[in-house]
Structure 1
Amino acid sequence: MPQSKTNLAKLIVVDLFTVGRVPLVLLILIFASAMGVVFTTHHTRQAISEKDQAFMERDRLDNEWRNLILEETALAEHSRVQELAQKDLEMKRPDADKEVVVNLK
């Protein structure tokens, strides 16, 4: 039994270009469609990741803003301001007879 040494890959390529043009076109279209799906999936996952990072940054900034509001409230508290004025600036409340009221017409 003589064995012929034919290259299987060469036979498939010749067959695709001569007889199987429609399957070749369909194979190319399927490959292009699969690559489109991979490309779209990759970009969708990147967008979701960026959105999650933006939400985390928003939450961090929101927490920082709340802390700053609390700090501002604590620093602007009347009793604290009065205590600092008396202690550091040696200020005191004027007597009633020394108060001057200014009225604008």
Structure 2
Amino acid sequence: MARVLMGILLLANVITAIGVVHARHQHRQLFAQLTRLEGARDELNIDFGRLQLEQATWSESNRIDQVARQRLGMKFPDTADIVVIRP
């Protein structure tokens, strides 16, 4: 009877040890994945900040006016060219 009990306790101890090893291995894998994902998140945040800055630069009214004048040849109409239509 004592041998059976010792065998059962030994088997339970081995199974528990294997479970602990498996849990620690899984924890290490998940932690490594978390670290990679946090790095990717940080890179995306940096890119997002750069894109916001670029968008702000491109959408400035002075920049739009400059492009309209230089590339498209646009200009404000002279007063004589403005026609007001009333209903």
Bucket of the pairwise TM-score, normalised by the shorter protein: 0.7 to 0.9
TM-score (norm 1): 0.70
CA distance in 2 between counterparts of 1:100 and 1:28 reads 97
Q: CA deviation at 1:94?
A: 1.3
The equivalent residue for 2:73 is: 90
Query: Which fold has the larger relative contact order, with Cα–Cα distance below 8 Å and residues 6 or more apart in sequence?
Result: 2
Q: Map Cα deviations across residues 28-63 of structure 1 (whole Å, 9 max, x no partner).
A: 111001000001111111122222222111111111
The equivalent residue for 2:25 is: 42
The equivalent residue for 1:70 is: 53
What is the alpha-carbon root mean square deviation over aligned residues? 2.2
Shifted more, 65-74 versus 86-95: the winner is: 86-95
Number of residues of Structure 1 aligned to a counterpart in Structure 2: 86
List gaps (5 residues or longer) in structure 1. Answer: 1-17
TM-score (norm 2): 0.82
List gaps (5 residues or longer) in structure 2. Answer: none
Which entry has the higher C-alpha Rg, 1 or 2?
1
Shifted more, 21-30 versus 66-75: the winner is: 21-30
Q: Which has the higher helix share?
A: 2
